[in-house]
Every structure is written in C-alpha cells, then in structure tokens.
Amino acid sequence: MNDVKSSIASVRSMRSGAQYLDSIRADGRKVYLDGEAVSDVTTHPALRGAARSIARLYDVAADPANAELMTFTSPKGSPALRCYHIPKTPVDLAARRGLSTRWAEESFGLMGRTPDHVAGFLAGYAAKPSVFAEAGQQYADNVVRYYEHARDNHLYLSYAIVPPQIDRSKPAHKQSDPTLHAGVVKERDDGIVLKGAQQLGTGAVFSDAIYISCIHPLTPGDEAYAFAVAVPANAPGVKIFPRRSYASGAPSSFDYPLSSRFDELDALIVLDEVFVPWENVFCYRNLQLCRDQWWRTPSHSYGNHQAQIRYSVKLRFLLGLTKRLVEITGVDAMPPVQIQLGEMAAFATIVDSMVKAQESQATVDAEGTVWPSKAALYAVMALQSEINPRLLDTARELAGGSIIMLPSSLKDFESPEIAAQIERYIASPGFPARERVAVLKLVWDLIGTEFAGRHEQYEKFYGGASFLVKQNMARTYDFAAATKMVDRALSLPAEN
C-alpha cells in the first residue's frame, strides 16, 4: 500500500506531457513563422507534431514504471530527471545514459536538443561552482540556484551560444554594428539589458527557457559579449525566428513519418533589449569565465555525452532501416551487400562503444565530480562529420531507386482507379505494397528529404565546426606518452 502511495506521489511531482504543453501554450512567447506571429506553438500545424513528441518524453519520465530509469532523488528529497544528476561515480554517468537512451529512442535519435542536453550543461556548471566563484561568489550562487530551479521544476532549456555568422573575419566588437552579436547594452541596479542575436537555438521554440552565452573565442574588447544568462522563452524582448518547418510541407505522417513528428526546429534568437535580473546572470563581462564555463567544468562533456548517446541510437535506427530495405529489395544475402552492412555496423558499434568508453575511462576530480573521458568523447565528435555522410551514402547506394519510385502519397492507395496497380507493382515478396512503402518512406525521410538534409548538417555542426572539435581532440590526446615512445625509439642502442 505504501509503495502505491509513494509511486503516486512521485508521479504527481514529476511533470507530465500535458503539464509541459499547458505551460508553454500561448504563454506570450514571440515565435515568428512565415512572417506571422504564432499564437500557440502546441497547436500550430507546423509545430504541434514536435511539441507532442517532447510532451511524450515528459510522459515517459513521469511513468512510475520508468521511475528508476528516468529519475533520481534530489537532495531536496523529490524525484528529478536523471539528466540533472551530477555524477559522482561512473555508475551515475551510466545512469544518465539510461535516461538519454530511452528519450532518444522515442524520436529514433532525431531530436537532438531534448531537455537532457542543456540539463547536462547546467549539471556541469553546478558541479564546479568554484570556477564561477573566481569571478565573484554571486555568480557561483546564481548558477547553482538556477540549476536547482531547473532540476526541481523539470525544465526544458535550449541554448544559443554562437554569434550569428554575419562576418566571421571580425570579433564581436568590430562588427559593423556593435549590437549585432548578443551583448550587454545596459547595466541596471537590478540586472542587465541585452541586445543582439545569437544562433542556433534548436528546440528554442518549444523550450521553457534559453541559455544564452558565447562559446566562440572572444578577444579583449569583446567584454560586453562575455556573459552567460538564462532567460524564459517568453521574456519580454525575446524573439524566436525559426527556419522553415519541415513538418509544414508534410501532407501526412505516412508520407513524412519523421519530418511530421520530430522537427524540433532551429532558430535565430533575437534579443530586443531583454532585461535579465542579476540572479539569472552567471557570467558578466568576463572573458575568462565565459571560456572557462565550457572547459573547466564538465558541462561540455555532459551535454555532448548526451549528444553521442542520441547519435548512437540514431545509427541503430539507420542500421535497422537499411537492413529492412535490403530485405525488401531481396539483396540482403549477397556478399557485397553484407560487406557494406558490415562496414555500417562497424561504425555504429564504434560510436556506441565510445559512448561507453566515456564512462569506463571517466575520471573523478578533487571535488568528487565525475568527468566523462574527453578523449573518448572528442574522438567520435571529431570524425562524425566524415563518418555520418559515409553511412548515409552507403544507405543511398543500397537503396537504388526504391526510395524514389514510390506512390505520390497515401492517397494513391485510396484511389479506385490506381490502387490495384499500386498494390501490384510496388509490393515485394513478403512485403505487401503498403508495408513496403511505409518502410521506404521512412528511409527517404531519414536520408533524402529536407528534414534529412538538415540532419546531415546537424551532425556536422551541432558540436561546432569539425576543425574546432579536432582542435579539442589535439588538446586532449596524450601526445606526451606518444612522443615519449619516439624518444625511446631514438635512444635504442645501435646494433650491427
């Protein structure tokens, strides 16, 4: 009886999908799509599919059957999402993977900035308040308090931490207008005022709040741009300009099974004189802290541990679909096809194993915080820009024209004039036409549609341009151990 009661209490204190949707419904957020302000992102035809998918994540986490997998008990004694847990052991890190895997499976790895992504960053900051305290104790207090607020309220944060491209040859303060990149334009007794834009707020349309800062290198003179804040997505002056919604062109979820459900949208975040109270300011006019927040805390590692877990799930889905595809076209037993499948499987296994290596090779710092192995993390991230297109290309090779030669839409199956011929010519042995078409439309939405093209760009750039990730790798790799071997080779005694 007690167990039942406690599980009901735990459900109540988690956030359900309906509660999430209610909280972002018509809350005054300024989202502009096709030149018009969206009055409700949860019901707009181009947005509701993704909103529902995110709501589903909250339902999965609130399901008492998933309590162990998805939640931990916060220091305040209430259940919280595992993505907000600050890991103290590699087992804790693996437990974070449990939540992220389960959530990624809901979208087949196709929603990148689910609530566990930025939650990882916040957990990373809260794990190392000492880094923020170097700039002033108030920043450490603020970041810990905000983390607790987000954790205790199961918040979904997105982030925009890269300045708009405009002119990459010049630092922020030397742009043609100093308020192009998001920066501080006014200091008040009660907080600061921000103006300018920051990219590329994936999920911002649907999030509760947006973390805004700068991960790009800043130079002396850029102090106004060296800040970190969290702002509610509906804060006055916050304007969210998403790109085209790929769900808007999807006539049905049969024809576009992924675009219609999982387009989380990417957005330019425009700050039109946005006031941020001091308590939500974590870094202010401080070049050093603005940089250190990413690299001297485990934030970047926790956030991208999630990104790699999600990518691993997506590859599993790609492998499953490619296997089904070759079964449909009847080439699956051919040795050359098996070799191609084997290569794909090798890459998928490497990515999955490297996620686990981040945990098995994790280190514990002096304050007892676990850091995933950066070498294992950046090794895959650095190569993802090359691995991913190669995998997609193999899937395309194996697909031939199957993913093109499809009925124009579900309606063809309902046409008395052509349905019988569609059924006759588009079926394969063991795969009736409708089932075959459903699989092939999934493949096309994963590798060929506009949604798929955006995904290819996402995998290249979500963690920054690959030249930057390779620089991270170069900084991380143990070159000292490698060059020591060279020295030993050079010092070998001469032999005749």
Ligand X SMILES: Cc1cc2nc3c(=O)[nH]c(=O)nc-3n(C[C@H](O)[C@H](O)[C@H](O)COP(=O)(O)OP(=O)(O)OC[C@H]3O[C@@H](n4cnc5c(N)ncnc54)[C@H](O)[C@@H]3O)c2cc1C
Beta-strand ranges (E) seen in 189-315 are 191-198, 209-212, 228-232, 238-242, 267-277, 281-283
Both tokens assigned to 426: 């588009």
Contact between 461 and ligand X (CB under 6 A)?
yes
Q: Which amino acid is at 78?
A: S
Contact between 169 and ligand X (CB under 6 A)?
no
Q: How far is the CB of 168 from ligand X (least distance, A)?
A: 5
Closer of 461 and 477 to ligand X (Cβ):
461
User: Quick one: DSSP state of residue 494?
Assistant: P
Q: How far is the CB of 141 from ligand X (least distance, A)?
A: 25
Contact between 200 and ligand X (CB under 6 A)?
yes
In DSSP notation, 330-356 reads T-TTSHHHHHHHHHHHHHHHHHHHHHH
Asked if residue 52 lies in contact with residue 130, where contact means CB atoms within 8 angstroms, the answer is no
Q: How far is the CB of 375 from ligand X (least distance, A)?
A: 21
Q: How far is the CB of 383 from ligand X (least distance, A)?
A: 15
Contact between 160 and ligand X (CB under 6 A)?
yes
Contact between 194 and ligand X (CB under 6 A)?
no
Contact between 159 and ligand X (CB under 6 A)?
yes
> For ligand X, what does the binding mask look like between residues 112 and 151, x meaning CB under 6 A?
-x--------------------------------------
Contact between 202 and ligand X (CB under 6 A)?
yes
Contact between 206 and ligand X (CB under 6 A)?
no
Asked if residue 42 lies in contact with residue 29, where contact means CB atoms within 8 angstroms, the answer is no
At residue 277's C-alpha, the angle toward residues 275 and 279, to 5°, is 150
Q: Return the H-helix or E-strand segment holding 50.
A: helix 48-62
At residue 49's C-alpha, the angle toward residues 463 and 381, to 5°, is 15
At residue 345's C-alpha, the angle toward residues 344 and 346, to 5°, is 90
Contact between 175 and ligand X (CB under 6 A)?
no
Closer of 337 and 468 to ligand X (Cβ):
468
CA distance 449 to 378: 29
Q: Which stretch binds ligand X (CB under 6 A): 70-78, 84-92, 454-462, 482-490?
A: 454-462
> For ligand X, what does the binding mask look like between residues 223 and 262, x meaning CB under 6 A?
----------------------------------------
Answer for which of 95, 462, 469, 473 binds ligand X (CB under 6 A) is 462
Closer of 49 and 163 to ligand X (Cβ):
163
Closer of 153 and 457 to ligand X (Cβ):
457
Answer for which of 467, 481, 489, 496 binds ligand X (CB under 6 A) is 467
Q: How far is the CB of 212 from ligand X (least distance, A)?
A: 9
Rg of the chain on CA atoms, in Å: 24
Site for ligand X in 262-291 (CB under 6 A): 266
Q: Does residue 200 have a cis peptide bond before it, meaning omega lies within 30 degrees of 0?
A: yes
Answer for which of 199, 306, 322, 369 binds ligand X (CB under 6 A) is 199
Closer of 5 and 168 to ligand X (Cβ):
168
Q: Which amino acid is at 463?
A: G
Q: How far is the CB of 481 from ligand X (least distance, A)?
A: 28
Closest CA to 129 of 369, 302, 300, 304: 369
Q: How far is the CB of 454 from ligand X (least distance, A)?
A: 6
Answer for which of 457, 479, 483, 484 binds ligand X (CB under 6 A) is 457
Q: How far is the CB of 460 from ligand X (least distance, A)?
A: 7
Q: Which stretch binds ligand X (CB under 6 A): 4-12, 18-26, 158-166, 173-181?
A: 158-166
CA distance 343 to 349: 10
In DSSP notation, 71-103 reads EEE-TTSSEEEGGG---SSHHHHHHHHHHHHHH
> What 3-state class would DSSP assign to 210?
strand
Strand pairing class (209-212; 157-160): parallel
| Total number of residues shown for the chain | 496
Binding interface with ligand X (CB under 6 A): 113, 159-162, 165, 168, 199-202, 266, 454, 457-458, 461-462, 464-465, 467
